[in-house]
Chain A
């Protein structure tokens, strides 16, 4: 059975250990289902997730609580009759044991749910195997993050979230004198990938894809040695819990200092000269970071907003071009 996940922080390894097939919803071939006019303040990603759940009543869709619209999106999908929608409580704090306990309990509840749908018992050896495979794939993809073309890398990460495999295309040759940019923000899926080309046409290049579906989504790490003591080896379940809770990096976390701590060395190492902040209409969590990103890193930030239709509007294309042109003339500074 296919189990569609609305967030990369919902562990596919746990789904696989139950004998089911996890798929990042954003990486699914028929996602988003169709572009529809949006009511005021409605996020196109959340809307697409609801439509997807409505149309796939035989599949399972796991919503995450990390944003208001997805949380209520699950309510709506259930109201529309989706009986296989599951809402996973992703804690937003991370500095207390309560957050980890919530995550652990949610995994157990999700496991019960999957077993009620015919999933198998997740034996430790199965889970360990899945964690090892996942860790290897994540490591392989992360190693290729700067070598691939940005679009190829986005496609490779999407493939990982679609079927768990890692394929790394041959390294691309970057045209000379392009402005290195970071693309930071919410989900960015296949219909949005022309954005990479538009950035390159404007004279820039995404050297850090820190969207929710890019390099950042590969952060979970599974370290058995770190969580074992001399007489007690770590259980795969503990490693899974730590792998996500200790490495999750996203804007919704409170405080969201981990996001900034993750970005800082990467922006510096890749000599990023500007940040493109990608967010969906109605996404307060990302939109509110616009000024903080600028203040923290001392870099120019361009806010790009995704609506119901993929692709940039002519106005946004002009803004993007102006942004890159401005950077061509500016002296790079990283605070």
Chain B
């Protein structure tokens, strides 16, 4: 029995799950009905979301929503856990190159208030710990560390600092004061080399001075030593190279998936599932091999749908390039409900999507990857990449989604808007999306609707 692709509610997923089971669906160990995440983990937000109805999407959601449980299990099995913070994509490549190490981003707790619809009161607890609503929702990480009810406490904490968000740096510093020692590493603010400096090319058509690459490489060398000590095994070039090849396998799969979904005439997968899929790149959702399997099944599904000319959205949906991840997953549904679709993204970790060089010495390759982080360089670099990708993906508008309280959001939107307008002349709007945006849905909807109508009016008749 075949079912046409569509977006369905959690209640509809109950039936759909039964149907898939009857049809002989085989699931990994973390599989099961989506409903249990509401019942067992109190992820109430799922009841407000629309999901893709494929088995591949089910696997993706189950993979995402079981991460904390899988981490606890890994610890019970004797694995060492590395909490890596802020760099979004570099240190996990190193950690997964060593047997018995598992890296994850405690930063990921920023989605917990959304998923649990604040029922866990993490944000209120963060208030009580001195980190109030003037900070980004990543502050949820702080009480999550203290109460241990979400992710397990890592055996080693590593945090990039320097040219990073002030919120994060401040929260991490508070964390250290509360008794969680941190290995800090310096991320210089990327800049264009001067005429007298040796230049190194980075992914994303970027360059950096040799000196900055060397400095980051030195910092990564210290991290490699710390990881090696934790694992009881030296992280040598051979292991690192193998780790890079595996990370590139993930990045290639994701690259193919993004290319297929974002460029298809009609979107074969919804924006929400694509957002989650992209997030897998940064630390493999704590299981690199399973990430490969999850992405492979999504790609297979998307290919089949494109081949059959099937889609989850209307073909005339307005093509939107989305900047920054949303604090409330519901926002991605909203865009599609109003007639939009995603045709490109910059969720703040484009450097985790680009391939890592396999020709360079591995630590240097990783240093170049880290320096290509869109958040550590000039905002103009980021804006120019957005403009290029908008052109390549046929974007008709750009949405810069502000993260409440995030220090970078105070200024970056203005720069991105200015440069994107100059370069390609498409409309750009900024929206702020809180962790649970229900109260703002009418206002957000109006803004998005106005954008979509504007784009439709600009289309040639």
Contact = CB atoms under 8 A, between A and B. Distances in A.
Interface of A: 39-43, 46, 65, 67-69, 71-73, 75-76, 78-79, 87, 89, 91-93, 95-99, 101-102, 105, 109, 112, 252, 254-256, 282-285, 287-292, 295-296
B163 A71 contact: yes
Interface in B123-142: 129-132, 134-135
Interface string B175-187: 0110000101110
Interface stretch (B235-243, B324-332, B407-415): B407-415
Most buried by B among A69, A92, A101: A92
Nearest to B134: A287
B189 A93 contact: no
Nearest to B131: A288
B5 interface: no
Nearest to A93: B186
A105 B186 CA distance: 15
B2 interface: no
A65 B186 contact: no
Nearest to A281: B134
Given A41-B405, A256-B173, 13 more contacts: A42-B410, A68-B166, A72-B412, A75-B415, A79-B415, A79-B418, A93-B184, A102-B215, A112-B194, A285-B170, A288-B171, A288-B174, A292-B177
B418 A285 contact: no
Given A79-B415, A93-B185, A291 B405 contact: no
A96 B130 CA distance: 30
B169 interface: yes
Interface of B: 129-132, 134-135, 159, 161-163, 165-167, 169-174, 176-177, 182, 184-186, 188-189, 191, 194, 196, 211, 215, 218-219, 222, 378-380, 405-412, 414-415, 418-419, 432
Contacts of A72: 379, 408, 410-412, 415
Main secondary structure of the interface of A (DSSP, over half): helix
A282 B189 CA distance: 20
A291 B130 contact: yes
B222 to A, nearest CB: 7
A68 B162 contact: no
B188 A102 contact: yes
A71 B418 CA distance: 17
Contacts of B172: 254
7 contacts: A89-B162, A91-B162, A93-B186, A98-B186, A105-B211, A254-B182, A284-B134
Contact of B407 (A69, A112, A256, A292): A69
Nearest to B406: A41
A62 B256 CA distance: 43
A43 B134 CA distance: 12
A254 B185 CA distance: 9
Given A98-B218, A109-B194, A287-B134, A255 B182 contact: yes
A67 to B, nearest CB: 6
Nearest to A65: B189
Contacts of B215: 98, 101-102
A255 B166 CA distance: 14
Nearest to B380: A75
A255 B419 CA distance: 36
Contacts of B135: 284, 287-288
Contacts of B131: 288
Contacts of A46: 411
Contacts of A252: 166, 169
B189 A89 contact: yes
A76 B407 CA distance: 15
Given A75-B415, A76-B415, A255-B182, A65 B163 contact: yes
A108 B405 CA distance: 36
A91 B186 contact: yes
A99 B222 CA distance: 13
B132 to A, nearest CB: 8
Given A285-B169, A285-B170, A92 B405 contact: no
A295 B222 contact: no
A102 B219 CA distance: 12
Contacts of B162: 65, 89, 91-93
B110 to A, nearest CB: 15
A71 B166 CA distance: 11
Contact of B189 (A39, A71, A105, A290): A71
A68 B177 contact: no
Most buried by B among A40, A75, A291, A296: A75
Contact of A291 (B129, B211, B219, B419): B129
